[in-house]
Amino acid sequence: MDKPISLSVKDYIIRKMAVKMMVGEKMLDAVIMHQFSSANEALRTNMSVEVAGFGKFLFNIKKAHKKMDKMLSQKRVFENILLRPDLTEQKQHSTQVKLNNILLCIETLKPKLDEFQTDIRGMEEQLDSPSSSEGAD
């Protein structure tokens, strides 16, 4: 049985599982959404999440920095577009929605990058302090 175009992958999987397991679709949807939100929350607070039998997801610092730079660049572009006087109302609304999405992504990613920078700085301070105290004796 192929997935109908009208259904998302998640909805298709839920329907197939509901029939196979004889469980309500709403119940399966609630379980799946809980699992995804738990995994997202764990990834926000940790550097990795492992799903048994599926794989391990890692937070990649280099990719996160590249993504943050790209989003900041897009933010500037959208802000500049919104300043143009010849902007139609539809284009202004569309650009504002895109800018809000970028700002939300930046808000989500920034704490994780800030946390990593704090860890790095703390490690550097610990490495520098013993050598400076040894040189003073």
pLDDT at 52: 86
Mean pLDDT of 1-6: 79
- Higher-confidence residue: 120 or 10? 10
- Phi and psi at residue 53, to the nearest 5°: 80, 0
Output the pLDDT for position 129. 46
Judge whether residue 66 has pLDDT over 90.
Answer: yes
Q: Structural domain boundaries of the chain?
A: 9-58, 61-123
Mean pLDDT computed over 38-45:
82
Across 68-91, average pLDDT:
94
The average confidence (pLDDT) of the chain is 83
- Give the tens place of pLDDT for each residue, 96-115: 999 999 999 999 888 888 87
Q: Which parts of the chain are beta strand (E)?
A: 48-51, 55-58
Bigger pLDDT: 58 vs 77 = 77
pLDDT for res 122 = 53
Q: 112 or 76, which is more confident?
A: 76
Percentage helix, strand, coil for the chain under 3-state DSSP, each rounded to 5:
75, 5, 20
Q: Please state, in angstroms and rounded to a whole number, the distance separating the CA atoms of residues 17 and 14.
A: 5
Q: Name the band, by pLDDT with cuts 50, 70 and 90, for residue 125.
A: very low
Q: In the prediction, which pLDDT does 124 show?
A: 45
DSSP codes of every residue in 39-67? HHHHHHHSSEEEETTTEEEE--HHHHHHH
